[in-house]
Chains A and B, each alone.
Chain A
Amino acid sequence: MSALLAALRISRRGIGRARARSALIIVMIGLPVLAITAVLTFGATEEIRPEERLTMDLGSADAKLTDARSTQPIRQDEAGRIWRQKERDRPPRSRADMQALIGQGSRIIPMNQSFGEFWAGDGYAIAAVREVDLRDPMAGGMFPLVRGHYPQAADEVVVVASMKAAVGETLRYSRDDVPKRVVGKVVRQPLSDGNTIIGLPGSMIPATATSVPLSVPGADRFWLVDAPGPVTWNETLRLNRAGVAVESRAVLEDPPPAEMMPQPAGGQIFTSFRGMTILTVVLGVILVVIEVVLLAGPAFAVGLRRRRGELALISAQGGSARHLKLVVLADGLTLGLAAAVLGAALGIGVARGIVSYIGIWPAGALGPFEVPFGRIALVAALAVFSGLAAAAVPAVQAARVDVVAALAGRRAEPRNRAGWPLLGLVLLVAGVGAMAFGVRSSSAVMFFGGVLGLLGMVMVAPMLVRLVGGLAGGLPLPLRLAARDAARNRGRTAPAVVAVLAAAAAFSAVAVEVASDARLAEKHYRALYPIGTTAIYGADVTEESWRKIRPIVGKTLPGVPLLEAYHPVDAKGVTVNFHPRDGRVGCRSCMTWTGPLGELPAGGPGLLRLLLGRTDLAAEAALAEGKAVLFDPGTVSDGRVRLDVWSQTTDKVKPRVVTVPAVAVTVRGPSLVTGVMPVGAITKAGLAPRLSHLIVDPAVAVLTPQQHQRLSGPVRAVTSKVAVQTERGTISNRDDRNDNVMWIMAAFASVVALGGTFAAAGLAAADARPDLDTLSAVGARPGTRRLVAAGQAVFVAGLGVPLGLLAGLVPGLAMAGQRALERDAVQGVGLNGVLYGKVGLVLSVPWPALLAVGVGLPLAAALIAMTFAGTRVTPVRRTG
């Protein structure tokens, strides 16, 4: 213990003496801690947990009740989320029933929630609809008022501040265009839909509407409760038995012990998935820790050389090998600790700053400021471990310090150790093998391969550095000097080279993955229309808008006939889908793609010809006779097709079935639609046809990009509900995000690679100062010193970056291969039941980008090192 204290004291004082080097180590370890802490803290703040949502969900009420409409008991979690429920088998409880259930001592008010539509100027837009009396104290804080007042009458509403509607304006609500006056604006709740309209209970959601659209999870009717005392977990369980779910303030603020809440079923699948994710994260963390260790390692190695005399002295006074190790490890511990504390504190500070800028609800969209101390402590512990690990190799070397040589002031000959090249090569091969295996298994295996490969590289690097250093014989003096120096001081050079290599490899892996992904997306591209077709389309474009659009098209494309496609809508103008009941027997589990045309567009012979890709006079005649033409023979039996008809707002899946006379035609290859039906079939089904497409047949005209531009702009200016597309068989608007990912990765890799290079070059320069002074003493120009500095940077970056770019191809190609196989595992099928072919492995290496980084980065490193190289000569200090 005393020895440890003494070691810590020596280390603490030593840090103060070697400020620059200590700062370098603290930055190398502390920066990742800072970044991760900031991200964790911001994430925890951004995530709004149920207990943080209490005001948003409950206002000032004690609890929110949800009638699950079940005669059986239900099970719920502490936040009132139901996870076990039988059928909804009874009508909703009335207010009186709820009041009786909760007890007469409590006051309840209703709160209903649904989705509705409002007229947004050029069509109907969807909005979340709430019914709650915001004037009631129980709803206090739920929707803070920005301006105006809360609704007082049935025709008054408030809307969230982000909506365009101004106070005093009248909204046309629902397809019935019910007028609602906007009397106020309120703060939007985070994670809620953009548009929210709030009115008094009974004023917005028709009482007959038993439920909300199917896509909306959870129930629609709630009751806010003001109870005389807290609504406890026992009370919750009692209400659960009556088929009522409870979100209680008291329960969320003081949750019941976990054993009182049995876990939902299906946990095992979840656990195995979670296990895989955790494994991947752990392996990722190991990679980061190794990188940090490699970045900080050289500084420790140099520190060791500086302190060799001191260590020899300790040895002379009876310090054993263990003591010397302890002294160097104490450095790692102290600096790791300092980096962890500084990084975590600054990280929390940075997150706090960002949170203040964005704002906490209701001022902004974030939850209460929250510091995830547990996770940050883990990160800090990893930082301390990194410090210790970075000091480990120098510590072992310290234990072997040649006391006699050090005391005599001689430079200790570097041990002629070439790392463990054989073991390293074995690990490298194993890493590549694991990655190849990971293509068909999982990402965790690939990450494991990455860890093995990096460790292998660490072991091979000293040998590599020595070999490259040995080739320096023919180089000009400054470069030769730099290379020889780097090779001689392998303890300093090798970790830096590997750190730079790892950063470059990460970039190259991501670059290959992004490039391959883009190629893969192109190969898997599903055309929305036959190639060359130009479509002007929109399911919700009003007739008025079409009237404005037609002359624009006529002017841009004079004399070009346009094909029309229709789809059915109900009396309220809501789109209705027709779906053949039979057919597509070949592959029920395959994936289908439905384009803007829908499954079964309605139109004339021209549309049929376009979608069929040939002229079939018999089929066209059948269409003209009022028969649907189906591309999947399985859908037609006895000259008829049975169609499920369902609307997007239907409550339950109990579709109506209509029967339409039909003929079948065979289409070679997978098709975009199931067929074409006559427009009359829509009217016969009691629905109305609505124009959804104006189409330019490529047999008539194919638009040039300029023509497309000239058409698209003015047409889209008419309404936001319309789109113009010319199908060219490739992705028209490429996703820029992938490019961004690549450039962010390039920037990140550059920062790490340059950081690693300059740290190593700086340490080398400081180390070589006596040599450089000697060089100057014998008449070298200042430029020579600069060139030596540049050479030192070039050695590290020039070896690490190109090698890393090459090494990164392995994980990059493995990840891309995995992605390609995953994509092919999903079998696609055309709407006529014909399978899409497999694409196979799609790999692409962005050579120009890799070449640019491979040459540019070492050059940049050299130039910067040259610019900042010190040229001042320090006279050699003599003692004695």
Chain B
Amino acid sequence: MSFDPVVRLADVSRVHGDGPQAVAALREVSLDVAAGELVAVMGPSGSGKSTLLNLAGGLDRPTSGEVVVEGRPLSGLSAKDLAGLRRRHVGYVFQDLNLIPSLTAVENVMLPRELDGVRMGQARREAMAALEEVGLAGVAGRFPEEISGGQRQRVAIARALVGERRLILADEPTGALDTPTGDDVLQLLRARCDAGAAVLLVTHEPRYAGWADRVVFLRDGEITDSTLPLESAR
């Protein structure tokens, strides 16, 4: 396990609106996630979990503080550079809305590579490799609606890892799945993590937090606690 963090949030705050209507979604949060580390973020709804994830991937910009991904501070980057950063270093996995319905599984996985200008053949090879790693080479040619919910999330994980990417930001990836399928997905995330990826996982299920190396509790936009999970929760 390397101690060089893949993503670092330093005193990050995010305030929506201004004046009397200002709402602080996140208050001076600091958090590091290193390669090979799976960090679970828990908290009640409205506690700022998703905001944290959006900030970590550069989808949103902090009001104050700094986010550093793979050693690059995001504050100085343009929207275009942020998009490039996501194509090369960050992979998102969401609860639903994950795959583009009009693209096949493999096409979904190759999308970030293609957007990055990688030739189609090369992108397809890399995508197939990523699909194989999540055990889904067999459904590569199928459309999202033709595969199960669990498979969809695994395809999304493959996409999050295609190419050189090693940061997965997962927002309730098991929210829409039944328990055994959710377990499979978590197991896959854990495995990718053990293979060197850094995972920041937002979940409200304590059971899944058990798979994490570290659990961060958020309440009203602040980290209230940061613990190692109980071994028994796994």
Contact = CB atoms under 8 A, between A and B. Distances in A.
B10 interface: no
Interface string A609-642: 0000000000000000000000000000000000
Interface string A724-767: 00000000000000000000000000000000000000000000
A318 B118 CA distance: 13
Contact of A314 (B85, B90, B110, B111): B111
A315 B80 contact: no
A320 B79 contact: yes
Given A3-B114, A404-B54, A880-B176, A318 B103 contact: no
B59 A318 contact: no
Interface string B91-114: 110111111111100010011111
Interface string A376-392: 00000000000000000
Contacts of B79: 320-321
Contacts of B123: 2
B57 interface: yes
Contacts, number: 102
Interface string B153-184: 00000010000000000000001100000000
B101 A317 contact: no
Given A321-B79, A404-B54, A315 B97 contact: no
Nearest to B175: A880
A3 B176 CA distance: 31
B59 A2 contact: no
Contact of A318 (B54, B85, B120): B85
A409 B92 CA distance: 16
Interface stretch (A12-20, A514-522, A589-597): A12-20
Contacts of A321: 79-80, 83
B86 interface: yes
A98 interface: no
Given A10-B103, A407-B97, A880-B95, A318 B88 contact: yes
A691 to B, nearest CB: 85
B159 A317 contact: yes
Interface residues of B, number: 42
Contact of B114 (A2, A14, A409): A2
Contacts of A322: 80
Nearest to B109: A317
B117 A3 contact: yes
Nearest to A399: B79
B114 A5 contact: yes
A17 B118 CA distance: 27
B15 to A, nearest CB: 14
A6 B88 CA distance: 17
A2 B84 contact: no
A456 B1 CA distance: 63
A395 to B, nearest CB: 16
B107 A9 contact: yes
Contacts of B86: 315-318
A317 B169 CA distance: 11
A323 B98 CA distance: 18
A404 B92 contact: no
B176 A2 contact: no
Given A2-B120, A880-B176, A319 B102 contact: no
Contacts of A14: 102
Contacts of B151: none
B91 A317 contact: yes
A508 B60 CA distance: 51
Interface in B53-99: 54, 57, 59-60, 79-80, 83-88, 90-92, 94-99
Nearest to B86: A318
Contacts of A436: none
A409 B120 contact: no
B161 to A, nearest CB: 12
B100 A6 contact: no
Interface in A1-56: 1-3, 5-6, 9-10, 13-14, 16-17
A1 B117 contact: yes
7 contacts: A3-B116, A3-B117, A5-B120, A10-B100, A310-B101, A317-B159, A403-B59
Interface of B: 50, 54, 57, 59-60, 79-80, 83-88, 90-92, 94-103, 107, 110-120, 123, 159, 175-176
Given A2-B118, A316-B94, A321-B79, 11 more contacts: A3-B117, A6-B107, A17-B101, A309-B97, A313-B98, A315-B59, A316-B86, A317-B111, A318-B87, A407-B97, A879-B176
Interface of A: 1-3, 5-6, 9-10, 13-14, 16-17, 309-310, 312-323, 403-404, 407-409, 879-880
Nearest 6 pairs of A and B residues by beta carbon: A318-B87, A13-B102, A320-B83, A318-B86, A6-B114, A2-B114
